[in-house]
Amino acid sequence: MRLKLATAMGVACLALSAPVSHAAPADGQAIFEGKDCVSCHYTDGPAREKTIEDQLAKTGPELWYAGDKFQEEWLVGWLADPQPIRPMKFGSLTEENPADHPALSGDESATVTEFLMSLVSGEVEAGTVKVKKNAKGRQIFTKKMPCSGCHEYAGRKGGVTGGRSGPSLAEAGVRLNPDWILAYLQKPTLFKPVKMMPVFVGLLSDKDMANVASYVGNFKPKK
């Protein structure tokens, strides 16, 4: 509602009405609204979804903590040349991802990235996860916990292996902020109050979560 009203009042007022914690670079926000990105993504937190119906009604992932979640360089590139992240269509377990996400020009993607990177929850501590070939994390991801049953990752022989129901993590090392991966595991209700992924709080210690975040944060795309 606030967004619609703000659009009607124009960009100048938007900058003024933006909440202090989201000192949103107004130019990127104006493009985000002008290109109708708002029809599928909401950018003001906290999480709005309360029920499964709310979750299923969404046509794109929430972006209100985009600045916590993504790596800036990846985001600029992806917005200009979006490639499928989720193997399956958003919200579906049976249809393939149609790979039809709208693309921005290079200039627009840099400006929109500035806006999206300004959106943070205030709940992610920077510099807590050191990414590496974490043997304990690998053990958890591939054996102790069912992570690999739902997420793609780089297999031994150069291909991609793993399940397809969750977002692909094969490029997580360039796409995601490792500190956010840890926070996502530790604070599941903050980021995704309604979700498909099981909650691992109580199953994994904070240390285990840090190990698995370190391991996932080290996944690099094939050259």
Residues that bind ligand HEC (CB under 6 A): 32, 35-37, 39-41, 59-61, 63, 79, 84-86, 90, 97, 101-102, 104, 112, 141, 145-147, 149-151, 165-167, 181, 184, 192, 195-198, 200, 212, 216
Give min distance, CB of 41 to ligand HEC, in A: 5
The single-letter DSSP state of residue 29 is H
Nearest CB to ligand HEC, comparing residues 21 and 83: 83
List, as one string, the DSSP characters of 104-172: --HHHHHHHHHHHHT---S---TT----S--HHHHHIIIIISTHHHH-EEE-TTSSEEE-SSSPP-TTH
The span from the CA of 9 to the CA of 15, in Å, is 11
Nearest CB to ligand HEC, comparing residues 20 and 126: 126
3-state secondary structure of 96: strand
Give min distance, CB of 34 to ligand HEC, in A: 9
The span from the CA of 129 to the CA of 71, in Å, is 14
Residue pair 206/141 in contact (Cβ under 8 Å)? The answer is no
Give min distance, CB of 130 to ligand HEC, in A: 16
Give min distance, CB of 213 to ligand HEC, in A: 7
Nearest CB to ligand HEC, comparing residues 20 and 119: 119
Closest to 42 in 3D by CA, of 97, 87, 3: 3
Give min distance, CB of 164 to ligand HEC, in A: 10
Nearest CB to ligand HEC, comparing residues 187 and 192: 192
Nearest CB to ligand HEC, comparing residues 13 and 197: 197
